[in-house]
Amino acid sequence: MGRKSTVLEVRRLCAGYGKRKKYRQVLFDVDLCLDRGEILGLVGESGCGKSTLSKAILGFVPAKSGQIIHHTSRPQMVFQDPFSSLNPGKKIGWILEEPLRMQKDRLPAGERREKAVTMARRVGLDESFLERYPGDLSGGQRQRVSIAISLIQGSELILADEPVSALDVTIQKQIMELMLGLQEELQLSYLFISHDLDVIYQMCDRVMVMQAGRIVEEGEVERVFGAPEHPYTKELLAASL
């Protein structure tokens, strides 16, 4: 299954929540292969297991069986609602530097600040934003901070779980263009989760369709959207028209 430039493999993954009699399986024999520089979309209705898959890849949900193989640095996450993941009592500069403080080889304060400034600028925020608090920022600006946090340690693999669904259409477009630009510039790989088929079509190279914890169809975006094979994929596409 693995290829020369593969950054992530998931093999026959089964996972869920709870223990023993209260265990609820959510994922069933999920296979996934993501290459360097590729954007792989994951679509499906709410509750189908998309977010559980991303949490399993990050190690937050234990696998019941199967394998998750990382061929690169630990993946990082961009969330749907960055406000809930940003400490409201800390300035943006402090928040951006926090992942660098947690590294084994801790950088001196001056170098951490320099990296924070560079990364803020890379996502379209000038240095003045480092002195603001999350509550002072708009939704789009907070999402830019979230993207910066995911990149500041040099990760090449980003899991983006509905990263633009909480934004209005104009800001959505800006964030999508930012993510595409960073992906090309840094040769990033994205697992891009969304219920919005239009967003998936604009962002992704390949797409996987999930129904009730199983991958029911996958392929190049143009092929899957243009000539879907599975009834559920056809249903999703028809509902989005």
Q: Measuring CA to CA, how many Å separate 226 from each of 49, 117, 121, 188, 237?
A: 24, 43, 38, 26, 10
Instruction: Provide the pLDDT for residue 131.
Output: 97
Quote the CA–CA distance of 229 and 226 in Å, as a whole number.
Answer: 10
Segments making up each domain of the chain, as ranges:
82-154
CB 178 within 8 A of CB 144: yes
Quote the CA–CA distance of 99 and 83 in Å, as a whole number.
Answer: 17
Instruction: Provide the pLDDT for residue 68.
Output: 97
Query: How high is the mean pLDDT in each 10-residue block of the chain (241 residues)?
Result: 78 95 95 96 95 95 96 89 86 95 81 95 96 95 96 94 91 96 96 94 97 97 97 95 74
Instruction: Provide the pLDDT for residue 82.
Output: 76
Spatial neighbors of 117 by CB under 8 A, at least 6 apart, are 127, 130
Instruction: Provide the pLDDT for residue 85.
Output: 81
3-state secondary structure 163-205: CCCCCCHHHHHHHHHHHHHHHHHHCCEEEEECCCHHHHHHHCC
Point out which residues pair with 24 in neighbouring strands: 17
Instruction: Provide the pLDDT for residue 104.
Output: 65
H-run or E-run covering 234: helix 231-240
Tens digits of residue pLDDT in 8-44:
999 999 999 998 889 999 999 999 999 999 999 999 9
Instruction: Provide the pLDDT for residue 1.
Output: 46
Instruction: Provide the pLDDT for residue 4.
Output: 58
Point out which residues pair with 10 in neighbouring strands: 32, 68
